[in-house]
């Protein structure tokens, strides 16, 4: 499941893109947002597909070595342990993942030169040599190596470039999705993972928590766009010593999203909202933005509370916005 922090960042990008296109159509923005979120599933599957692809490349390279004009003893009798990796074999044989590979996974066959380069670099790595020399051959040892291998592959610039060429948006998302996959691979257990096990996606409509998170993101997007004019007026009322036109556009968007979340998400504590948008300002805006955003949201919370527009339920709520 994608984190709400990540989803907030995708909503921010969607709103920014909508405004750059001089549009205020929330339905159109939602369609575009849903499309990009679904494509994150594609990115995730393609990243996982690098594991069976590197095994296929290994088989080709080892076979080529045997058929050289004057092969060495090592080339005639290569170590084939990677070809027999049980963990990667189960991934390759998973029915649901096979369907996803059929839909999205053809890129590694097209870019076999990139995968060959990655395999040749892999052969120079100590962790690969240690795996080949390890006489143990269990699911757990194969899993531990496969996870190391996945991390290695995701740090190969040549492989990242192959995927990023499929979507300009993936350049920003690549390592976030790789981290998700890395953590997900760690959760796979021998007893419960087989051909029929449902494959976990970045966003899976079958999972209640994923649906709840996406509902949060979609509501945040639509409410912010629909109420943008009102939220701008709220911001203007609390600017002291600032002209609205001189406030960084990204800072305005962040505060508008924060207002939307404060009003429309009763289960999210105020402190969580404030902290999240301060963090987003560090990622997407200037060095001084966090001070501006923290200060103005403090004032806006006081106003919205006095008008009864913030109604929160649950633990972790703030009793004093000045303490943020």
pLDDT in tens, 232-266: 999 999 987 778 888 999 999 999 999 999 999 99
Does the reported pTM lie above 0.85? yes
Burial level of 264, CB count in 10 A (0-12/13-18/19+)? Answer: middle
CA distances from 292 to 93, 167, 278 (A): 52, 34, 9
Distance CA 163, CA 45 (A): 11
Q: What is the pLDDT at residue 318?
A: 43
Residue 313 contacts residue 266 (beta carbons within 8 Å): yes
Q: What is the pLDDT of residues 95-140, one digit of tens each?
A: 999 999 888 867 887 788 999 999 999 999 999 999 999 998 899 9
**Res. 225: pLDDT tops 60:** yes
User: For the residues 287-302, what does the mean pLDDT come to?
Assistant: 92
Give helix then strand counts, H and E, for the chain.
Answer: 16, 0
Between CA 48 and CA 4 the distance in angstroms is 23
pLDDT band at 315 (very low <50, low <70, confident <90, very high): low
Percent above pLDDT 90 for the chain: 73
Q: pLDDT tens, 13-23?
A: 999 998 888 77
CA atoms within 13 A on the CB side of 248: 15
Distance of alpha carbon 22 from its chain centroid, rounded?
Answer: 27
Q: Which of 3-7, 19-23, 97-101, 307-311 has the lowest mean pLDDT?
A: 19-23
Q: Name the residue among 123, 122, 188 with its Cα closest to residue 159.
A: 122
Task: Identify the pLDDT of residue 319.
Answer: 39
Q: CA-CA-CA-CA torsion for 163, 164, 170, 176, nearest 10 degrees? A: 60
Cβ proximity of 154 and 47 under 8 Å? yes
- Helix, strand, or coil (residue 241): coil
Kindly list the domain boundaries of the chain, sorted by start residue.
Answer: 4-187, 227-313
> Burial of 258 by CB count in 10 Å (0-12 exposed, 13-18 middle, 19+ buried)?
buried
Confidence of residue 314 (pLDDT cuts 50, 70, 90): low
CATH class in words for 227-313: mainly alpha
């Amino acid at each position: 499941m994608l984190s709400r922090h990540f989803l907030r960042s995708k909503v921010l990008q969607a709103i920014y893109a909508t405004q750059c296109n001089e549009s205020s159509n929330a339905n159109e923005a939602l369609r575009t947002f849903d499309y990009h979120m679904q494509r994150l599933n594609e990115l995730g599957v393609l990243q996982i597909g690098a594991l069976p692809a590197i095994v296929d490349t290994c088989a080709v390279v080892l076979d080529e070595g045997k058929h050289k004009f004057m092969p060495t003893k090592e080339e005639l009798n290569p170590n084939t342990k990677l070809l027999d990796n049980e963990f990667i074999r189960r991934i390759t044989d998973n029915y649901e993942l096979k369907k996803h590979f059929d839909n999205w996974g053809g890129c590694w066959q097209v870019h076999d030169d990139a995968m060959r380069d990655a395999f040749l670099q892999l052969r120079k790595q100590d962790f690969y040599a240690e795996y080949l020399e390890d006489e143990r051959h269990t699911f757990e040892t194969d899993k531990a190596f496969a996870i190391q291998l996945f991390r290695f592959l995701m740090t190969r610039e040549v492989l990242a470039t192959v995927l990023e060429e499929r979507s300009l948006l993936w350049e920003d998302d690549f390592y976030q999705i790789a981290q998700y996959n890395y953590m997900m691979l760690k959760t796979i257990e021998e007893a419960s993972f087989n051909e029929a096990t449902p494959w976990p996606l970045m966003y899976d409509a079958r999972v209640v928590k994923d649906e709840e998170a996406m509902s949060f993101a979609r509501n945040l997007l639509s409410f912010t766009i629909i109420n943008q004019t009102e939220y701008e007026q709220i911001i203007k009322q609390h600017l002291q010593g600032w002209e609205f036109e001189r406030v960084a556009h990204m800072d305005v968007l962040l505060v508008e999203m924060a207002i939307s979340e404060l009003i429309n998400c009763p289960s999210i504590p105020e402190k969580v909202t404030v902290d999240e948008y301060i963090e987003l300002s560090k990622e997407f805006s200037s060095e001084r933005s966090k001070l501006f955003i923290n200060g103005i949201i403090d004032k806006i919370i006081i106003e919205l509370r006095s008008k009864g527009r913030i109604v929160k339920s649950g633990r972790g709520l703030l009793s004093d916005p000045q303490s943020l």
